[in-house]
Amino acid sequence: MKCNVTKLLFLMISMAVILSACSKDSNPAVPAAPEEDVITIVDRNPSVRVGLLSFTPQKNLYVSITGGTFKCYVGESMREFSSGISGDIHKFTGTEDLIEYLTEGAEDPRELENEVVRIEPAEGSEGSILLIGTSRSNLRPYRGILTLILEGKNLLAVNTLPMEDYLLGVVPAEMDPDWPDDALMAQAVVSRTCAIFNLNRYDGRGFDLSDDERSQEYGGMIVESDSTTDSVVETVNEIVTYEERLAIVVFHEESGGMTASSLDVWPYSGDIPYLAGISDVVGIIDFSDGGNYLRWSNWASFEDLHEAFNLDGETFAGEFMSAITVMSESENGRVQTIEILGEKIPVLPAMTVIHVLNRRIEEDFVPSNRFDIGLENDGYRFTGSGKGHGVGMSQWGAYQRALDDQDYEFIISQYYPGCEVTAIPTSGIEVVHNTRVDMIR
């Protein structure tokens, strides 16, 4: 693909950079300077490595297969050390320096002098599905192969499979399979684009994407449905592009009436024309109407908020906390940074604080970054609208637009103005990778 140098420089500047959450080892008041982007060519239907169980390492992992035979190999050498048939369950355990495994019927575990195990269906068992779980009773089916990586004293599970197979477990996890076909197809195209853009995001840990909201929800085979599978098949290889390059297409659940600009959420994102924010109200029709998060309000005590912040390294306030203050917000009311006034006084991106509160207090305690904070009794009340960071496609808006007979390509063109839905060229698509895009919704 021939590239105009001016366009290349413009796009590199405009896409550099979208701020990610601060590391758990620091709480800088001013975010670090942008890093250099990496430009690659991605082929059709590339392999995807997904960190399972919210990429949280586990002490024990159990593996089996739905039919046929599975084989276990040691690391890159691919030396076979064990196999099992349908019904057999292998138990893998992480230790200080190595991985132990216990086969069906054996009394004592065996040791592997290696930190990586690869598990895949044996030749002749390609139609069989691997199962993995944290106990014998919660095994879940996944297409492709499994890799177990020793991290510290625990095991990280990674599922590797073709992109199109991966999407079969993403679309139904992200969107209700009973929603209209065009909403599901819009989600399939956007999810495919998101996944390609974020390949190698967690390469340092041996995978590309997480299976939760930090990338996209991914449930494996257990969540697959006919309607969402059809949406993936009908849009095979289709992506969102801007000026013949893969677009940055983040998405969220509900806009609350107006989607956000990338600058509203990530101040250093630069001018990305198709992420400028749009109104979900067209004429007399409000495509945000009827959503579960059109208006919301939640309260927590001062003590509970302090404890929640101190349970997470990113928001650690220290021995005392005296106030929570919105430091900056966008013109349309999206909170950008929050100060937690305490011993440590961290100033953080709003989405980092939101993610911690939703994880430590309760799910959806602060559903979106469009909110106000007010003192109330011995705590704070958070009141707002919408769900998620608000940038890009509103999933609820896609649902409402599909009900209004808008097709999936038109829906995508509304949420990403100036972009097109195109098939990945046989020669591949040029991608400007930027690991600082914060996918947390």
Q: Which range, of 1-10, 240-249, 402-411, 424-433, averages the lowest pLDDT?
A: 1-10
Q: Which range, of 136-150, 345-359, 426-440, averages the lowest pLDDT?
A: 426-440
pLDDT of residue 264: 84
pLDDT digits (tens, 9 = 90+) for 108-130: 999 998 889 999 999 999 889 99
pLDDT digits (tens, 9 = 90+) for 94-112: 998 899 999 988 999 999 9
Q: Are the CB atoms for 302 and 379 separated by under 8 Å?
A: yes
Q: Are residues 311 and 362 in the same domain?
A: yes
Query: Is residue 408, in this structure, part of any structural domain at all?
Result: yes
What value does the mean pLDDT take over residues 32-46?
Answer: 72
Q: Are residues 262 and 170 in the same domain?
A: yes
Query: Is residue 329, in this structure, part of any structural domain at all?
Result: yes
Query: Is residue 440, in this structure, part of any structural domain at all?
Result: no
Q: Are residues 182 and 262 in the same domain?
A: yes
How high does pLDDT run on average in the chain? 88
Among candidate residues 151, 186, 212, the one where a domain is terminated: 151
Query: Is residue 283, in this structure, part of any structural domain at all?
Result: yes
b (16+ CB within 10 A) / e for 174-208: bbebebbebbbbbbbbbbbbbbbbbbebbeebbbb
Nearest to 291 by CA among 362, 367, 366: 367
Question: What stretch of H or E contains 430?
Answer: strand 429-433
Q: For residues 116 and 151, give the distance between their C-alpha atoms in angstroms, rounded to a whole number.
A: 10
pLDDT of residue 272: 86
pLDDT digits (tens, 9 = 90+) for 325-344: 999 998 888 999 999 999 99
Q: Are the CB atoms for 158 and 149 separated by under 8 Å?
A: yes
pLDDT digits (tens, 9 = 90+) for 220-246: 999 999 999 999 999 999 999 999 889
Q: Are residues 189 and 324 in the same domain?
A: no
pLDDT of residue 30: 29
The tally of domains found in the chain comes to: 3
Q: Which range, of 45-49, 165-169, 219-223, 273-277, averages the lowest pLDDT?
A: 273-277
Nearest to 280 by CA among 294, 266, 292, 270: 294
Q: Are residues 230 and 348 in the same domain?
A: no
Q: Are residues 187 and 280 in the same domain?
A: yes
Q: Are residues 360 and 225 in the same domain?
A: no
Query: Is residue 438, in this structure, part of any structural domain at all?
Result: no
Q: Are residues 184 and 136 in the same domain?
A: no
pLDDT digits (tens, 9 = 90+) for 254-299: 999 999 998 888 877 777 899 999 999 999 999 999 999 999 999 9
Q: For residues 389 and 224, give the distance between their C-alpha atoms in angstroms, rounded to a whole number.
A: 26
Provide the 3-class DSSP secondary structure of residue 117. Answer: strand
What distance, in Å, lies between the first and last C-alpha atoms of the chain? 33
Q: Are residues 418 and 333 in the same domain?
A: no
Q: Are residues 360 and 412 in the same domain?
A: no
Query: Is residue 335, in this structure, part of any structural domain at all?
Result: yes
In which domain, by residue range, is 198 found? 5-47+165-290+389-433
Q: For residues 113 and 98, give the distance between their C-alpha atoms in angstroms, rounded to a whole number.
A: 6
Sorted by sequence, the CB contacts under 8 Å of residue 105 that are 6+ apart come out as: none
Higher pLDDT, 7 or 42: 42
- Transcribe 260-310 into DSSP letters: BPHHHH-TTS---GGGS--BSEETTEETTTT-TTSSEEEEEEHHHHHHHHH
Query: Is residue 197, in this structure, part of any structural domain at all?
Result: yes
Among candidate residues 151, 176, 195, the one where a domain is terminated: 151
pLDDT of residue 426: 92
Q: Are residues 114 and 212 in the same domain?
A: no
Q: Are residues 23 and 169 in the same domain?
A: yes
Query: Is residue 158, in this structure, part of any structural domain at all?
Result: no
Q: Does 199 score more than 80 pLDDT? A: yes
